[in-house]
Each structure stands twice: as C-alpha cells, then as structure tokens.
Structure 1
C-alpha cells in the first residue's frame, strides 16, 4: 500500500466518507479497497507469477464483497449510489 500518499487517502475518505477523518464508514472502506484492488490488478498484469500478491488480491476482493453485501442489506440507496460512483457493476 506504499503507493498511497496521505493526501490521496484523505481525498478518497473525503469523497466517499464525508470527511477526511471518517475512515470507518462502509463507503470509505469499500472505496479504499477498490483503489487497492485496481492497483494490485495492474501489478499482476505485468507480474503473472506473483502468487502472494494474487492471494492478497483475492482476500481484498472477498472483504469488499462482504462489505458490499452488508451495505446492500442495511442501506440500499447508498449501496446503489456507491456502485454507480465506483463503476463496479455493469
């Protein structure tokens, strides 16, 4: 996660969580996981045999899936808005 600067993290949390210090909101956590997943996916396109990064990627995808399921169960409008904003479903 070294490619994320404090400013970039704060911007993600501000955009999706409401403020730069609201790191615990479900929307902010999902947005941060999505950024990390995209970064590792790009890494794995050039390093196909990096199996430990692939395992970490699968764990992050699973965690994001569980958080999205929780959000859809508790706040459907927020879930739909977040999916649209992040472009996760087609």
Structure 2
C-alpha cells in the first residue's frame, strides 16, 4: 500500500507529504508541514489542522483516514501578564 498525507489549515493552505511506498499498513513520512497563519487563527478556539491519509492509485487515490487537530492542543496558551502588587509601608 503506497500512502501519503495531505494537510491543510483551510481551503487555500494545503500541503502533501511524499508517498511512502514501503510502510504498508504502518506508513512513516517524517515530512514537515509549514503553514503561514495569522494571530487570529492561532487564538481562535475552533482553528484546526486537518490531515487526510490517502492510498495512491493509478487512476484515483482513495481516502483511508482523517484527523482534525485543534490548534489550541498544539500551542500553549499565551502567558498572562504578571501584575506587581504595590505595597505601601507606613512612614514618617
């Protein structure tokens, strides 16, 4: 089974891995997907990276699996600013 992964963050931003012709039922790609996204995408609660796995055929490829990963599960939440407490001491 010759498989490849297809990843996207929206309709206009999609990338494909190379075809793994040796992995059969346990494919390995070790490819990197690099997407340019804006801050709004990173902050939005429903932003996802969708990855589809296909079997490569001569005529038409076959979808065998899909996963949707919430971006919030990949990126730590922004740090909250620390506010210093002002302490007042009695004086003369």
TM-score for both structures, normalised by structure 2: 0.22
Identify the structure with the greater helix proportion: 1
**Larger relative contact order (C-alpha < 8 A, sep ≥ 6)?**
2
TM-score for both structures, normalised by structure 1: 0.22
